Structure 1
Amino acid sequence: MRTSKLRLGAAIIVIYTIAAFIAPYFVNEEKIENWYNGLYWKDNPKLVPPSWVNLFGKSLPPTEELAPVKSQPGLQAFEYDFRYSKPPQDIIVKFNRTEGRPVTVTVTTPSGKSYQFYRGTSDEVSLAYQWQVLMEIAEDRGVEFRMEDTAFRMGLKPLFFVNLSGDVVPEHGVYTITVEGALNSTVKIVGATYGILGTDTYGRDVGAAFLWGARQTVILVYLTAVVAVALGTLAGLAASLRGKAGTAVDSISKLSTIIPVIPFMIALIPLTGSVSYNARITIPMWAFVPALAFLLFGKIARNVGAIVRTELNKEYVAAAESLGADRKWILRRHILRIVGPYSIYQLSLFAPKVIALISILGFFRVAPGFNWGTMLGMVLSQNAIYSMAWWMIVPIGLALVVFALAFVLINRELEERFLSRG
């Protein structure tokens, strides 16, 4: 049982570590840089679930960009295979006009009916907002349509549904979108699902945030925990030294235990941080990690110091000192070997606390980079619980719990081994 705990905990940590290092290869960094730029996300569907919900009986159109099946100067054609129970929220067509010619956008249904949605000189057209055309299509196909339907994500229902003997049903098949009079056209289907983890209320890619946040969270947890435990171990050893040096280290350790963590870290922002034009707070890691480690190392130093003092009162230490051994030599050659395993145990005990603190600081946007704490803030600020946006809540909650659980499993294993030795 012990071995299984240790292996399971270590396996989880390895998986998280690998995920942290490969995340940049699966995420477009531009998305994170523009996270607070609303214009960057304006074409994405708002608050929709991930695309894989269709594996569980759903039939919702995913968000996708169509590749042209026909492309020649002044004419591009795109095909959209519609086989879902709901229409896409919108179809956005963008193009570069050829000089002196208007652009025409036409959609042909699987039954062969063609509808001209747009003719003009704009550079972009949103089909769900062509209300006059949609009303004409609705009348032609016997489908009820109101302009308010666009707000409820059903603006394109007249195009994708048809009235058959009194029943309004989806018309499945291939729809052809033709753009005439333009160069380099693009067509985006704004569906009812998006990516691996859906979108938030601003249309931002939750999956990209989750993967990128994994990298930042894991790196911060590892660095902070290791630095705090290393400082605590060294301070605990140094506190046993005779003279002013030992007293000074002991006093600093006591100070570390009484300073409130979150207020101190927030107060650090004006000294080391900066704010970008989009209100994004940037804090350098070189300042964050040592500061947080300093606030946390005190308790470890006190515990290590207690072990050191106990060992120093034993006979083998007195014998070594009687033979002329220096206190530093005793600490390095004998005491450190005893304190070392305890420090590793403290690291496994300490890491879940660091995970919680970094998540809280990220929630207040006072942690470096983009981490899972930032996502927690997003969940609360957007009322994801009340919106039933489970894809914003469940993955981040499970990820943090499992990450902390890995260290708890290792800690329980080490605890059992220490107890069995005792």
Structure 2
Amino acid sequence: MKVKRKAGLITLAFLIAFITIANISIKSEDIKNWNNANYWSENPKSAYPIWFCYITDKTRTTELIGEGNIIYVHKFEDRPNDVIFYNASGAVVTIVRPDGRIIKLRLPKKEEISLNIYGKYSIVSQLNIPPQKAALKTATFLLFSSYKDLEVLKGKYIFKINGTNKTIRIVIKGNCYGIFGTDKYGRDMWVGFIAGTNNTILLTLLIGGSMLIFGIIIGIASAYNKLIDFILEVIASTPMLPFFMILVWLVSTQGIGYNVNISTIDFVLILTILSVGRFAKSIKSITLKERAMEYTKASISLGADENWIIRRHILKPVLEFSLRHVTFIIAKTISLVSILGFFGLSPGVNWGSYMIELMREGVLYGNYWWIVLTLVLMMGVLSLSLALISERLPESYG
């Protein structure tokens, strides 16, 4: 038993260390701007993780610096995400492709110039690409595609810079970014994963702690007071999800895109009240059982009041049961928070709302499998560690 408890503590410690290090690896501004598409505009869209690109032949980000002629050799199986020109305001760029075709671009007077934004018309017209072929394709896609079949055009690309004496920086944006890649908006999926993990754990701790405190209080009180006992029976027999949806609708506001905006406090209170019934009834049963014990009756006959009885005889088995029940409460709460987040009925980003983001990005078709695997491992490791720890707890109170 001691070995299992130590294993649980070590596993939980590793999980806490992982979450701590993960939070250090990102900026707080990234989490705050998770739903701000403009904040992520400079990132490549729908990019693979960096590690994935090293085991496959996906385009990696390359930075080119120079004057006059700048050469880039494309040798990957896919096309770059975008080409960004820095310090090239008002310059004329002539691009010589591997097939000998030439494209001339007159860049606008901006510090940062995206080929996808400013170059599509020039590329389509100078390469004589039929409009039906160019539709829904980016300028970078067309630049790095062969003329006839739009296959990837590998080889040497020469960027001839004229009209400026400055040192030009060209960034060939690859299809790899970060630990988990990006979505179609360029959002770093690693940031979303950490934000969802933080919020899921925070909500779980708040709801789990509230359930323990509220459940112990109302459970013990219901053994003494008929009105409280009646209220407990009502709570325990109330179907949780339908009433939760009604209460959330009553206390929340509707945001952009039919999103439900509910405060963390309201969410925690509603879910605690609707979820505490079964746990509180178990506490009530323990209380009634202890009150019927011979040693409790003996204490009462010697003049002990109910407060002393609760402190001396009832709290010990109640706390013992509650600590053992923590694992079930946490596992249940994580599931509830994730399910409600999946349907947009919880505050902030959590594992459920994050899964919705993944589904929009095509996770059902095999995309982002590495994130799903990590989520499953996180849930499994957390549940396992708590189960191993709680298995020993009751004996510690014996």
**Partner residue, 2:334:** 355
Match of 1:228 in 2: 211
Question: What SS does the corresponding residue of 1:225 show, helix, strand or coil?
Answer: helix
Gap runs ≥5 in structure 1? 140-145, 160-167
The 5 A counterparts of 1:237-316 are 237-241=220-224, 246-277=225-256, 280-316=259-295
Paired residue type of 1:249: I
Which of 57, 68, 86 matches 1:59? 57
Instruction: Tell me the equivalent position of 1:164.
Output: none
1:7-406 equivalent positions in 2, closer than 5 A: 7-20=6-19, 24-56=23-55, 58-63=56-61, 66=63, 69=65, 84-93=76-85, 97=89, 102-105=90-93, 117-121=104-108, 123=110, 124-126=113-115, 130=120, 133=123, 147=134, 150=137, 154-157=141-144, 170-171=154-155, 181=164, 187-241=170-224, 246-277=225-256, 280-406=259-385
Looking at structure 2, the residues matched to 380 and 22 of structure 1 have their Cα atoms a distance apart, in angstroms, of 27
Superposition deviation, residue 274 in structure 1:
3.3
Identity %: 26
Shift of 1:326: 0.4
> For residues 86 and 285 of structure 1, do their structure 2 counterparts lie closer, same or farther at Cα, with a shift above 3 Å needed?
same
Residues 192 and 238 of structure 1, relative CA distance in 2, 3 Å threshold: same
Q: CA deviation at 1:357?
A: 0.2
Structure 1 residue matching 2:142: 3-state secondary structure = coil
Q: Distance in 1 between matches of 2:136 and 2:339?
A: 40
C-alpha distance 413-316 of structure 1, shift in aligned 2 (>3 A): closer
- Show CA shifts across 1:76-95 (max 9, x none): 99887866443313213366
Mean CA deviation greater in 130-139 or 117-126 = 130-139
Amino acid aligned to 2:248? I
For residues 200 and 103 of structure 1, the distance between their equivalents in structure 2, rounded to whole angstroms, comes to 32
Q: Secondary structure at the match of 1:385?
A: helix
Amino acid paired to 2:83: I
Q: 1:142 maps to which residue?
A: none
Give the CA RMSD over aligned residues: 4.1
Partners of 1:239 and 1:30 in 2: CA distance: 47
Q: Which moved more, 1:331-340 or 1:215-224?
A: 331-340
Report the Cα distance in structure 1 between the residues aligned to 2:237 and 2:68, rounded to whole angstroms.
68
SS at match of 1:198: coil
TM-score using structure 1 length:
0.75
Q: Cα 1:117–1:319, aligned 2, differ >3 Å: closer, same or farther? A: farther
Letter aligned with residue 88 of structure 1: P
8 Å CA contact 1:69–1:79 kept in 2: the answer is no
Contact kept, 8 Å, 1:36 with 1:280, in 2: the verdict is no
Q: Structure 1 residues 271 and 87, CA, compared in 2 at 3 Å: closer, same or farther?
A: same
Deviates more, 1:26-35 or 1:230-239: 26-35
1:396 deviation in Å?
Answer: 2.5
Contact preservation (8 Å) 1:349, 1:407: no
1:400 alignment partner AA: M
- How many residue pairs align between the two structures? 387
What's the CA shift string for 1:141-161, capped at 9, x where partnerless?
A: xxxxx64794698534359xx
Deviation larger for 126-135 or 385-394: 126-135
- Which residue identity does 2:115 align to in structure 1? S
